[in-house]
Structure 1
Amino acid sequence: MNSLLGFAWLSRYAGEEPEISLSMFGLSPEYMGKGWGKLFLEKIESVIPRGQSLRAECTPYAQNMKTMLKRNGFRRLRQSIVPAGCRGLDVYIKKL
């Protein structure tokens, strides 16, 4: 039986910096915390041309996502820090 591991939504806008945006990334609950997210992220990175950046956006409440990004070499952009009690997105970036 096959099951869905997860999904990702990647986009690139013409005329901007050489950057790919990772707008959505999710795993089925039974695969979380077992290294599948790291493997999935590595597969995504392997198809992005060298010299480009991968930009990931997540809500301040997406603690698992933020932890995975930090562990995999992403850095949070300083201007994206969202104060407690406010709404916004944390933005992480990794040059490939």
Structure 2
Amino acid sequence: MDGIIDNDLIVARVRALIADAVRQPVAAIPLDVRVDGSELGIDSLGLIKLTVRIEETFDITMPDLAAPGAGPLGSVREVAALVAEQVAARQAGGAR
């Protein structure tokens, strides 16, 4: 994604990517649901695919969220915040 994008847009797009990954409407994806929990039904392969889609969509590099020993992924809101941080760093000229 080119240009400056705001956090609300990032949250909406991350939510849409997650909804697509679990084949649910966006409205069925609450911001506080854990992405790596059983509530959404995403397994480790699904997390890897989701991570790649997020990276491609936002032109960023995400940490390997499905790696053994990786910290808990957190909520949809937390994933969106991580994406926003990565986007801001890229826009500020930081390394990908």
The answer to whether the superposition gives a TM-score over 0.5 is no
What's the TM-score, normalizing by structure 2? 0.31
**Structure having greater relative contact order (Cα 8 Å, sep ≥ 6):** 2
Name the one with the larger helix percent.
2
Q: Which has the higher strand share?
A: 1
Larger Rg: 1
TM-score by length of 1: 0.31
